[in-house]
Amino acid sequence: MNQIPDRFDHANAASRILQAWDEAKCSHAEVNPDRKPFTVVIPPPNVTGALHLGHGLNNTLQDIVVRTRRMQGYEALWMPGTDHAGIATQAVVERRLKEQENLSRHDLGRDGLVSRIWDWKAQYETRILGQLKRMGCSCDWDRLRFTLDDVCAAAVRATFYDLFSKRMIYRGKRLVNWDTFLQTAVSNDEVENVTKKGHFWHFTYPVINPNAGEPAQVEIATTRPETMLGDTAVAVHPDPAKAFDKVEQELRSKLTEATDKERSEIQNQIDALDARRSEMLPQLEQLRDMALDGRKLMLPLMDREIPLIADTWAKPELGSGCVKITPAHDPNDYEVGLRADLPMINILNPDGTINAEGGLYQGLTIPQARKKVVADLDALGRLGEVEDREIELPHSDRSKTPIEPYLADQWFVAMSELAQSAMDAVQDERVKIFPERYRKGYLDWLGEKRDWPVSRQLWWGHRIPIWSTNGLNEAAADDAVARLSMMPAHAAGDLQAHIDNREDGSRSVYVCIRQEDTVVEEEIEAMGFVRDPDVLDTWFSSALWPHSTLGWPEKTAELEYFYPTSTLITSRDIITLWVARMVLMGLNNIGDIPFNEVFIHPKILDGLGETMSKSKGNGVDPIDVIDKFGPDALRFGLARLATDTQDVRMPVQYECPHCEKLIDQTKKNRSLPKLACPGCNQDFSTQWAETEEDKSLPKAAVVSERFETARNFVNKLWNAARFVLMNMEDYSPQTVTIEDLPLEDRWLLSRLSTVTQQVTEGIEHYKFAESTRVLYNFAWDEFCSFYVEIAKPRLADPDKRALTQAVMAHGLDTLLKLLHPVMPFVTEAIWECVNQVAPERGVPNPAASPKFVMKSAWPTAVAEHHDESIERQFAEFQEVVGAIRKIRASQNIPPRETVPVAIRCSDSSLQLLQPMVSYFASLAGAEVVLIGPTATAFETDAPLALTSIDVDVHVDLEKFIDVEAELARLDKLKSQLEKQIKGKQQKLGNENFVARAPADVVDKERASLADLEKQSESVEGDIERLRNKSAQ
């Protein structure tokens, strides 16, 4: 056994163990009527990139729960998979394409780009799965899914078809970035802002029937005059004074941090603002009052009445302080329009010319319309100042033409029923959310019942299964539907057609096809139907995850058995986007909730309190932590920080690749391409290295020393096990009688029972930090520091050896099981060794152990083993040990010296301490020469009174006395006592306290004061004696 290394070689062990688990299919789950199912679906990580520490936490917690339940005898399925993450992934791939090959998506075409993204997916999925595996995640890898694979695609199609059939999918308007040249919507990241020279036109709108004293017109200013054709309101700030104050306050706070140079500039701005305020405030407040009073304006050129409204989008510090509102052609105005429930008038044709809504201006291009609008307003005398100004203008990356915000047709899912069903599920606690406070956000969000825009102008995703023809008249539409209804697919229930009456009076026909079917698709395309180019919002497929992964819409045995899943563990930023939608889709598709419980875990922040991300340079790769500290340390370290209130702050360091020194990350150094190590003075590179020179330097891993404690704990456990194994060569299993066991064994069994209960309850209630702490303290401070230390002399005693081995093996066995969900690798590695020397173990009756701790039975808290009084008694023993150690330390007595000790205690304590007397030698280097009610102080005595247990400890200092040190210790003790006595006296001197506090509290205080006074007297006596003695 001596060849077992004294450090756990996690790298070697982990790969060996992973392979063994894999070969034994330890994490595979099957439909098994003999067991209860326990199911968790993984929040599928985006295939955008690699996992970070947040995923590390998320997956560690899931694995802890899953491993625990598996050991508890459930058929535990952890369903793994990844998410195609529509826009994020497409954007990443497109960016790379641009950087590396200078190609755009349009150069590759739809199929070309999608195939590139599949390549990317393959690469990153492999990497992600590798990360999960190395973390020890016990997913059922045979069941791996991807949100864009065939099984998920079938679920998406079936769901969409169902909603379409129920008329819950509809065509609606939404503001998008419109490229008038390509006549298509472009995504946000395809838009680049170009600064151009432009103008800021001021003009006025007349007020309809102003009251006396009110202005006859309102001035507004715009960079896009032609949009006034679509104006449906003019806004003024609801509290202009406050708005002015706020701007001024911001400027002033800027002033305090400004350099001298900037200062005069900012001061000028403040002065200008003040001047503006005194000039304009009364007028703006008057306008605000007019708005609240319902005053209307007449929109020139169009002769349309529009309201004056109060909205914070109007900025008193800018322009005229009033702003025209064109909801259909400006994102901010759109929001105002939603808030104020304004009409949204689209004045553009898809090609960028003015449509019929633009009246006389119909047919003009935007520049033409602009010119004419300005000229016509001028002719009406409504044109004021025209300022030259630089304007940020969004341009399409592709066509290089200006983007027009444009109210375009999009697909929506009607939410009112779906949202209500998901609210009900949480309100009546069919779905329980922990911590409970997250219910509110969930319910509030769903309560708005905003319809869900599900179409995305992307290529990567589930393409919307709708074909349409537009611009039909009523007869043509009816005819099309009639023809569609004759198709066999319609009769089979695989095809649905709806007629949509468009705003312009024309008809559109939409066809939805349930399954991918090229024959039907070609047939309807031949009829003139065109497939929608858009794809679905990525959350649409994620919303189906709990049932699509189990094979729905097929009625699989898995679905029957594993659904609804047991718990969902995720982070709070996707409660609405994902969790809520899974609930409503589960209810819609299956008629049952997707999971019984949801646990929301904290977020991982860096040392500066910022979220970790690759783009900030503070992202930590779990693999780097595993390489440095091991997978168990990563998991334990994360789990012990996972409380349910506090986000986790994790200071981050670079690890010098030359000398392994850890260098704290700062805001400054985390964005540098290379750094010099302050330890060895050598350069290393970071993720930002770009030049060949920098890239040739070795790269520093980004890690956190927060994992050191956990790594040390793994090592501690390893060494405790090593000790046990070293003393087991002659082990033979035996039945033990609990009642006959000595106190130390009873204590261990009782503690094991208590700890088992705490840990089990902790994990079942998602108290990961608490369970982890209980395990850490028990393993280190009780099992190692006391039980193993006590076992040493017992193992040396031939009469006691066998029994000690039996109990010790059992203790280690239980500890390994309890720790396994958190630290699977080291526990499995030890288990393997224990199985060699003690394959049969257990108290009271030994039994054969399974090959893997992973597949062993979770310990149960044994009521007969639990004994509160034994735990309390043992605590007395521990306290006495502590007292002796304190005295020794204060006297600087060398550890190898044995000191004589006298222990004054009650008879009942004597009963406990007497059998433990011999252990004071190994634990405190003490020989107990006197013990019991009559034990007295030594001639040269160092005393310590333990009032709470009514024990006095005396150490004989004859051989060791350091008078100065002892006097110092006693003086300190005395002043501490006096401080406490004073506090108590004050408390008891307070009549209110004595009169009003419960009697038992008062009595306790009195007794405690008496004790303290007694102690104080005795310490004074000791001091006196010592002084006299040293004076002699």
Q: In angstroms, what is the minimal distance from the CB of 640 to RNA?
A: 8
Rank residues 434 and 459 by Cβ distance to RNA and give the closer one.
434
Specify whether the CB–CB gap between 548 and 516 falls below 8 A: no
Q: In angstroms, what is the minimal distance from the CB of 43 to RNA?
A: 15
Count the neighbouring beta carbons within 10 Å of the beta carbon of residue 117.
24
Q: In angstroms, what is the minimal distance from the CB of 1008 to RNA?
A: 4
Q: In angstroms, what is the minimal distance from the CB of 28 to RNA?
A: 33
The amino acid sitting at 443 is L
Rank residues 181 and 313 by Cβ distance to RNA and give the closer one.
313
**DSSP letter string over 476-531?**
HHHHHHHHHHTSHHHHTT-EEEEEEE-TTS-EEEEEEESS--HHHHHHHHHTT-EE
Instruction: Write out 801-856 in H/E/C secondary structure.
Output: HHHHHHHHHHHHHHHHHHHCCCCHHHHHHHHHHHHHHCCEECCCCCEECCCCHHHC
Among 1011, 1024, 1004, CA closest to 981? 1011
Among 337, 345, 230, 239, CA closest to 291? 239
User: In which residue are the tokens 């419980």 written?
Assistant: 597
Q: In angstroms, what is the minimal distance from the CB of 377 to RNA?
A: 33
Rank residues 156 and 724 by Cβ distance to RNA and give the closer one.
724
Q: In angstroms, what is the minimal distance from the CB of 660 to RNA?
A: 12
User: In which residue are the tokens 């704990």 written?
Assistant: 713
Q: In angstroms, what is the minimal distance from the CB of 980 to RNA?
A: 5
- Residues facing residue 694 across a β-bridge: none
User: In which residue are the tokens 């006590």 written?
Assistant: 790
**DSSP letter string over 940-996?**
SEEEEEEGGGTEEEEEE-TTT--HHHHHHHHHHHHHHHHHHHHHHHHHHH-HHHHHH
Rank residues 466 and 650 by Cβ distance to RNA and give the closer one.
650
The amino acid sitting at 465 is P
Measured CA to CA, the distance from residue 888 to residue 923 in angstroms comes to 12
Measured CA to CA, the distance from residue 954 to residue 360 in angstroms comes to 107
Q: In angstroms, what is the minimal distance from the CB of 645 to RNA?
A: 4
Q: In angstroms, what is the minimal distance from the CB of 480 to RNA?
A: 37
The token pair at 698 is: 């070795």
Rank residues 132 and 714 by Cβ distance to RNA and give the closer one.
714
Rank residues 19 and 986 by Cβ distance to RNA and give the closer one.
986
Residues belonging to the chain: 1032
Which residues have CB under 8 Å from 165's CB, separation 6+? 496, 512
Identify whether 844 is preceded by a cis peptide bond (ω within 30 of 0).
yes
- Residues facing residue 433 across a β-bridge: 598
Rank residues 152 and 650 by Cβ distance to RNA and give the closer one.
650
What beta strand segments (E) does 473-561 contain?
Answer: 495-501, 507-513, 530-531, 535-536
Measured CA to CA, the distance from residue 5 to residue 932 in angstroms comes to 45
Q: In angstroms, what is the minimal distance from the CB of 790 to RNA?
A: 10
**DSSP letter string over 628-691?**
HH-HHHHHHHHHTT--SSPPEEE--EEEPTTT--EEE--TTGGG-SEEE-TTT--EEE-TT--S
Measured CA to CA, the distance from residue 588 to residue 603 in angstroms comes to 31
Q: How far is CA 510 from the centre of its chain?
A: 41
Q: In angstroms, what is the minimal distance from the CB of 760 to RNA?
A: 17
Count the neighbouring beta carbons within 10 Å of the beta carbon of residue 677.
19
Give first-to-last CA distance, the chain, whole Å: 57
- Judge residue 1028's burial from the number of C-beta atoms within 10 Å of its C-beta, 0-12 exposed, 13-18 middle, 19 or more buried: exposed
Rank residues 576 and 757 by Cβ distance to RNA and give the closer one.
576
Count the neighbouring beta carbons within 10 Å of the beta carbon of residue 683.
17
Is 19 in a helix, a strand, or coil? Answer: helix
Q: In angstroms, what is the minimal distance from the CB of 895 to RNA?
A: 5
Which residues have CB under 8 Å from 971's CB, separation 6+? 1023
Rank residues 13 and 354 by Cβ distance to RNA and give the closer one.
13
Among 402, 547, 535, 520, CA closest to 458? 535
Q: In angstroms, what is the minimal distance from the CB of 572 to RNA?
A: 6
Q: In angstroms, what is the minimal distance from the CB of 1000 to RNA?
A: 9
Q: In angstroms, what is the minimal distance from the CB of 932 to RNA?
A: 23
Rank residues 547 and 722 by Cβ distance to RNA and give the closer one.
722
Rank residues 714 and 953 by Cβ distance to RNA and give the closer one.
714
Rank residues 324 and 888 by Cβ distance to RNA and give the closer one.
888
Measured CA to CA, the distance from residue 114 to residue 124 in angstroms comes to 15
Rank residues 113 and 944 by Cβ distance to RNA and give the closer one.
944
Count the neighbouring beta carbons within 10 Å of the beta carbon of residue 724.
26
Q: In angstroms, what is the minimal distance from the CB of 633 to RNA?
A: 8
Measured CA to CA, the distance from residue 160 to residue 619 in angstroms comes to 37
Rank residues 847 and 875 by Cβ distance to RNA and give the closer one.
875
Q: How far is CA 868 from the centre of its chain?
A: 39
Q: In angstroms, what is the minimal distance from the CB of 921 to RNA?
A: 13
Rank residues 384 and 435 by Cβ distance to RNA and give the closer one.
435
Rank residues 571 and 940 by Cβ distance to RNA and give the closer one.
571
- Residues facing residue 495 across a β-bridge: 513
Identify whether 622 is preceded by a cis peptide bond (ω within 30 of 0).
no
Q: How far is CA 104 from the centre of its chain?
A: 35
Rank residues 141 and 993 by Cβ distance to RNA and give the closer one.
993
Q: In angstroms, what is the minimal distance from the CB of 84 to RNA?
A: 20
Rank residues 566 and 715 by Cβ distance to RNA and give the closer one.
715
